[in-house]
Amino acid sequence: MKPEDRAVIKLRNVYKIYKIGENEVKALRGVSLDINQGEMVAILGPSGAGKSTLMNMVGCLDIPTKGDIYLFGKNIAHLHESDLATLRGKKIGFIFQQFNLIPYLTALENVTLPMLFQGKSRKERIKRGLELLKIVELENRANHKPNELSGGQQQRVAIARALANDPDIILADEPTGNLDTKTGSTIMDFLKDLNKRFKKTIVIVTHDPRIGNQCQRQIFIKDGQIVDAL
């Protein structure tokens, strides 16, 4: 089997049930899914379908109520929070709709922050941070703070930050949701380039079929269950 054909993410009969008072909300109901190394996959569905819950499972931000989740062959379903945090820091990069940049840090400082938590030296952080800003065509904005950048520029800084520790998987939650159509198209071009040039596995959560159509595969979820796949 070729390396690019291996499933790096496997979900097996995953349930996530939240208790609200005496009521139970089944956010995920028996989801099984494989995502292969180097794939660019969209998870689509209406609001409340379970898309973000599914991303939280894959991203080691939460564990399932029932079922198994394998990340690079390791079952993460019952790991402690400290172990999940370690796995997140090394293997997964996140891109959010709201950018989530720290307002009092420069673009370069925002990009290099994840490397600080992994114990990289200041010299290493700055070198890689500048390289990443060059990839997203923002090397000339390295010393600018978020409020000095446009929405599209902030999202490109967020993409560079997601790549800081050279993760194998990038999870993007509505990455174009706060951007106009033209800027959103630019962001998608960057993500597709990362997938093609650096062989990153990219999972995009979105409600927008135009985004889904740009991915290699589309997974449709409704009421916590996968209802279709293209």
Specify whether the CB–CB gap between 194 and 159 falls below 8 A: yes
CB contact at 8 A, 188 and 21 = no
- pLDDT of 21 reads 87
- Look up the pTM and report it: 0.91
Cβ distance 167 to 86 under 8 Å? no
Rounded Cα distance, 59 and 19, in Å = 22
User: How confident is the model over 101-158, as pLDDT tens digits?
Assistant: 999 999 999 999 999 989 999 999 999 999 999 999 999 999 999 999 999 999 999 9
Q: Is the pLDDT of residue 14 over 80?
A: yes
Q: What is the mean pLDDT of residues 192-221?
A: 95
Helices (H), 19-80: 51-58
- Residue with structure tokens 């071009």? 189
> What does the pLDDT look like over 59-104, one tens digit per residue?
888 899 999 999 988 899 988 888 888 888 889 999 998 999 999 9
Q: Mean pLDDT across the stretch 201-212?
A: 94
d(CA 45, CA 168): 25
The percent of residues above 70 in pLDDT, for the chain, comes to 98
- pLDDT value at residue 4: 44
Mean pLDDT of all residues belonging to the chain: 93
Band of residue 181 on the pLDDT scale cut at 50, 70, 90: very high
Q: What is residue 224's predicted lDDT score, i.e. its pLDDT?
A: 96
CATH number of 37-63+80-229: 3.40.50.300
41 forms beta bridges with 203, 217
**pLDDT of the residue at 3:** 41
Domain ranges of the chain: 37-63+80-229
C-alpha radius of gyration, the chain, whole number: 18
The beta strand positions in the chain, using DSSP E, are 7-20, 23-36, 40-44, 66-71, 74-75, 92-96, 169-173, 201-206, 217-222, 225-229
pLDDT of amino acid 1: 44
CA distances from 197 to 38, 57, 147, 190 (A): 10, 27, 30, 10
